[in-house]
Structure 1
Amino acid sequence: MGAFTRALRALVLLAGFPLIGLVLLALLGLGDWALATSGHHGIGAIRLLILSVVLAVPLVRGLALVRTPPGEGPHGVELTPEAQPRPWELVRALAEEAGTRAPARVLLTADVNAAVSERARLLGLVPGPRALYLGLPLLQGLTEAQLRGVLAHELGHYSHADTRLSGLTSRVREQVGRTVAHLRGESGDGETRKRDVLHRWLAKLYTGYGTLVLRVTLQDARRQEFAADRLAARLAGRTATASALRELPALESSFAYYLDRYALVGTDRGLLPPRGEVFGGYGRLLDARQLELVHTRTELPDELASPYDSHPPLAARVRRIEELPEDGRTDEGRAAALGLLDAPERVLAALEDAVLKAPPSGTWARAADWPDLLTRSLDARLGDQDAPLPRALLREKGTAGLPTLLSVIEEGRLWDLARHLPASAEARAAKGRARQAMLRPLLREQLHRALRKAEVGAGPGRAHSAWHRAPAGTCSQRVAPGPGGDVLTARGPRPAPCSPGLISTRAPGRRPS
């Protein structure tokens, strides 16, 4: 299917969305007109008129949602050619090799992703200003050659006119999604059952249309990904492109892990790492724990994340690239991609300012260093009187905190402390060694957290060791543990961060890699 045919089909899909609402409104209007001219003016007719107005309200609101709400846009730091010449030289050189126009903007984000967008005119038929979105974790975790592969893939979407055409279908998806969410909210607002039924029916109608749009456009979307992969392999080399794709799951899981257990561990108390370290520490964690990421590079997902995923399975993409003929480009660009940035420490600090939302107090406090951050955060958690160990310390000694715990250990009163921990009825009723055997796992778990905290807080000389083990007492209990108990490469859904919504990275209309 040619570009013109795909554009025409996307135009029809785009027009179909408001057409549904207009047809339904027209039918409601005809029904009201017929009722008004029929001579029936009883209570039943009044109820029908009210019902039609109630049904028309979400339809009108749905039509109003056709336009993208103002204020939506990406969050990040713009890399200008003057301040960051080397990334721009790379992007422009790749664009020339790809035979396409380079983007007008390059924006550094906090996503483990790269993406492109284009503000095309006349429904995507006339080119417009382009933008490239580049995630900082990619610069921290990829080599220069691998980054070339990622950028070449994104520029491949430009050269195939995918960004202009995908803009049409992405608009349809956004419109349908906003309207369905609105209708579902309306159907659950506690109004009459009849109104709820009507709103649910409308939501199902738009959901069905959205499903149709996805099914019609998915084949093209997946074809575009394979085509962009082939171009990336030609421009950056087969090995670099395939290894970059293999690296993405490892970077995604490790970055979520890092935010959850390190960077955001103190945010519930308004505490952040030293300036520039919110994202800067991620590079050190990668250096310290490379071996734990090996299996994520070899065991790639071979199934779609959902039936409507616009990207083919990662394993299939890598397999197609690695089946290409050997090109002899295995020794290129081994330096870290972060080295392309001038004064990266300033960029890291600027990205914090761009994407971190202010805490309720209005300002962040900064830890002196990483051990200080982890110690202060975990001290506060150990002193949390709602936690099992602090409650036990309060009952046994009258105070909670690390000094009190050390005093109990020195006095040899751990088993006295253990009797205050929340145990089963059987353990509480047991005596002697049987009771100790039942309480031992619970006591060990609580002490493990406290001793790990003490290890992390032993001083600046222990800072490097902190990257090899997750700090105890963090919000990481929301990550399902693996065989080793300390999960860096958890598969499946990404763990929820300590402070959901703290980092703003949304960029509507972007095409992810």
Structure 2
Amino acid sequence: MGAFTRALRALVLLAGFYLVGLVLLALLGLGDWALVTSGHHGIGVIRLQILSVVLAVPLVRGLALVRTPRGEGPHGVELTPEAQPRLWELVRALAEAAGTRAPARILLTADVNAAVSERTRLLGLVPGPRELYLGLPLLQGLTEAQLRGVLAHELGHYAHADTRLSGITARVRGQVARTVAHLRGEAGEGKTEKRNVLHRLLAKLYTGYGTFVLRVTLQDARRQEYAADRLAARLAGRTATASALRELPALETSFAFYLDAYALAGSDQGLLPPRGEVFGGYGRLLDARQLELVGLRAELPHESSSPYDSHPPLAARVRRIEELPDDGRTDEGGAAAFALLEAPLETLAALEDAVLKAPPSGTWARAADWPDLLTRSMDARLGDQDAPLPRALVREKGTAGLPTLLSVIEAGELWELARHLPASAETRAAKGRARQTMLRPLLRVQLHRMVLADFSVRGRLRWEFSWEGPHAAVLTGERGAPLEEGAESRDEGGPALEHAIEAALADRPDTGPLRALCALGGGPHTPKDGLV
């Protein structure tokens, strides 16, 4: 199907949206006219007329939204030609090779993604300024050759007029979505207005039409992705393009892990890494964990994330590219794509300023370095009294310290205490040993946390930062010496602590090993009931 035919079909779908609304309004109008001319009067007739007006209002509002609101788009930092000449030279050269206009702006974002947009007019029939969105994690995780494949794919959407003609289809989707929102009573900003059964039925009608639109246009969207992949393989090479796609799941998984375990580990306390390191540290993680990424590259998703996903399954895209004839381009552009950026430290800092929202306190604090961030964030987490097990102890015993918990275990009251812990309906319904088996993993985690908190408040816990693997929680005794030399169980406190916790939670609990371990970590200011 050609571009003109796709555009014409999209216009028909858009007209169908308005036709549905006009038919519904006509039916409401005919109903009112029939009531007026029937000669019937009374409160019942008035209520029916009021109901028809109430139903008509969201329909009219939906039809009146002729102009699609301009979205803000992704937050990021504009990379100007003057500031980033090498990146712009690459983009312009690829655009020329693709036979299309280069974008007017390049925006660096914090997403594991690249995308293009075009501000068209007249439902996308008149071209307009173009923008390219480029995720920093792609620059950090891809080679220059792989980045060329990603950029060539996005420019392929320009070359095939996808960004212009898709505007009409996007208008249909947007109109249906906004009308459904009105009918459902979604007032925006998380507010919801009450709607009656008829409103919800009308919303289902428009949702059905929207589903029909998606099904009709889905295959076109997937063909566009395959076509852009073929152009990318021609411009950047088959191997580089396929390997770039293979990198995406690995980068998505590792970047999400990095933000949670490293960059934003102290965000609850309003604490960030040193300036420029919020996103800069991701490159360090990638360098340190290359072996872990190998498996992620090999395992590609064979299904789309949604049946209405506009992109084909990643595995199918990679297979089609790798089935193309060998072009011999296997050893070019091996340098890191990140090297294309001029003044990278300033760019990283600027991206932080653009995408990070202010914490509740109003301003971010900065750690001195990564180990300092780890220590301060973990100490704050351990000092949080709102964990499930401490809450249960306060409720039952009035205090939440580790000595209190050990006394509860020794008195045989642990499983009675555990009824206050959050649990699934299945766990709450279970009895006896089955219930204990279901609750034991949660108790193990909570007890481990309380032991670390007890050592932390006494100054007997040291955190060792690592890019290569989990951070290590090291329990210390006199003069800061580790209680277990050479312990390999990182972030668990060592095998002795694991054994002590297992003994305390056994069917026949034994708190002796745990009390002995805590005694080894005693200090001159050991509190009677350690904080949690």
Amino acid at match of 1:213: V
- How far 1:126 sits from its partner (Å)? 2.4
Task: Kindly indicate whether residue 88 of structure 2 is the aligned counterpart of residue 88 of structure 1.
Answer: yes
What secondary structure, in the 3-state scheme, does the structure 1 residue paired with 2:107 have?
strand
Mapped to 2, the partners of 1:382 and 1:418 lie a distance apart of 21
Mapped to 2, the partners of 1:147 and 1:421 lie a distance apart of 61
For the pair shown, which has the larger CA radius of gyration, 1 or 2? 2
What secondary structure, in the 3-state scheme, does the structure 1 residue paired with 2:131 have?
strand
Alpha-carbon distance change, 388 to 6 in structure 1, aligned in 2, over 3 angstroms:
closer
Partner residue of 1:469? 470
Partner residue of 1:233? 233
Contact kept in structure 1, 2:266 and 2:377, CA below 8 Å: yes
What secondary structure, in the 3-state scheme, does the structure 1 residue paired with 2:116 have?
strand
Task: Kindly indicate whether residue 137 of structure 2 is the aligned counterpart of residue 146 of structure 1.
Answer: no
Amino acid at match of 1:285: L
Residue identity over aligned pairs, in percent, reads 78
Mapped to 1, the partners of 2:112 and 2:180 lie a distance apart of 28
- How far 1:330 sits from its partner (Å)? 1.1
Amino acid at match of 2:156: G
Partner residue of 2:292? 292
Partner residue of 2:427? none
**Which segment is superposed worse, 367-376 or 338-347?**
367-376
Contact kept in structure 2, 1:14 and 1:171, CA below 8 Å: yes
Partner residue of 2:448? 447
- Equivalent residues in 2 for 1:488-503, closer than 5 Å: none
**Which segment is superposed worse, 88-97 or 164-173?**
164-173
Mapped to 2, the partners of 1:72 and 1:50 lie a distance apart of 38
- How far 1:399 sits from its partner (Å)? 8.4
Partner residue of 1:220? 220
- Equivalent residues in 2 for 1:388-407, closer than 5 Å: none
Alpha-carbon distance change, 323 to 32 in structure 1, aligned in 2, over 3 angstroms:
same
Contact kept in structure 1, 2:382 and 2:452, CA below 8 Å: no
Match of 2:415 among 406, 418, 424: 424
What secondary structure, in the 3-state scheme, does the structure 2 residue paired with 1:123 have?
coil
Normalising by structure 2, report the TM-score: 0.76
What secondary structure, in the 3-state scheme, does the structure 2 residue paired with 1:376 have?
helix
Mapped to 1, the partners of 2:378 and 2:147 lie a distance apart of 37
Task: Kindly indicate whether residue 368 of structure 2 is the aligned counterpart of residue 368 of structure 1.
Answer: yes
What secondary structure, in the 3-state scheme, does the structure 1 residue paired with 2:216 have?
helix
Mapped to 2, the partners of 1:217 and 1:426 lie a distance apart of 56
Partner residue of 1:41? 41
- Equivalent residues in 2 for 1:261-300, closer than 5 Å: 261-300=261-300
Partner residue of 1:59? 59
Amino acid at match of 2:88: W
Partner residue of 2:385? 385
Q: Residues 436-473 of structure 1, C-alpha deviation per residue, up to 9 Å, x if partnerless?
A: xx989945764378669979x857xx44x15521688x
Q: Residues 468-511 of structure 1, C-alpha deviation per residue, up to 9 Å, x if partnerless?
A: 21688xxxxxxxxxxx999xxxxxxxxxxxxxxxxxxxxxxxxx
Contact kept in structure 2, 1:261 and 1:471, CA below 8 Å: no
Q: Which has the higher contact order (CA 8 A, sep 6+)?
A: 1
Amino acid at match of 1:107: L
Mapped to 2, the partners of 1:60 and 1:422 lie a distance apart of 64
Contact kept in structure 1, 2:78 and 2:108, CA below 8 Å: yes
Amino acid at match of 2:150: V
Contact kept in structure 1, 2:382 and 2:449, CA below 8 Å: no
- How far 1:57 sits from its partner (Å)? 1.9
Q: Residues 56-99 of structure 1, C-alpha deviation per residue, up to 9 Å, x if partnerless?
A: 12212323444333563331111100011111000000001111
Mapped to 2, the partners of 1:292 and 1:356 lie a distance apart of 28
**Displacement over 4 Å in runs of 4+:** 186-191, 388-400, 413-422, 425-428, 438-445, 448-455
- Equivalent residues in 2 for 1:57-456, closer than 5 Å: 57-69=57-69, 72-185=72-185, 191=194, 196-387=196-387, 423-425=414-416, 442=443, 446-447=447-448
- How far 1:240 sits from its partner (Å)? 0.6
Contact kept in structure 2, 1:371 and 1:458, CA below 8 Å: no
Alpha-carbon distance change, 179 to 97 in structure 1, aligned in 2, over 3 angstroms:
same
Mapped to 1, the partners of 2:172 and 2:379 lie a distance apart of 50
Mapped to 2, the partners of 1:9 and 1:470 lie a distance apart of 56
- How far 1:293 sits from its partner (Å)? 2.0
**Which consecutive residues of structure 1, in runs of 5 or more, have no partner in the other structure?**
429-434, 473-483, 487-513
Q: Residues 40-65 of structure 1, C-alpha deviation per residue, up to 9 Å, x if partnerless?
A: 22112101111101111221232344
Amino acid at match of 2:94: L
Contact kept in structure 2, 1:383 and 1:390, CA below 8 Å: no
RMSD: 3.5
Contact kept in structure 2, 1:301 and 1:313, CA below 8 Å: yes
Q: Residues 288-327 of structure 1, C-alpha deviation per residue, up to 9 Å, x if partnerless?
A: 2222222221111112222211111111110011111111
Alpha-carbon distance change, 189 to 80 in structure 1, aligned in 2, over 3 angstroms:
closer
Amino acid at match of 1:378: M
Alpha-carbon distance change, 209 to 466 in structure 1, aligned in 2, over 3 angstroms:
same
Contact kept in structure 2, 1:115 and 1:133, CA below 8 Å: yes
- How far 1:114 sits from its partner (Å)? 0.4
Mapped to 1, the partners of 2:260 and 2:413 lie a distance apart of 27
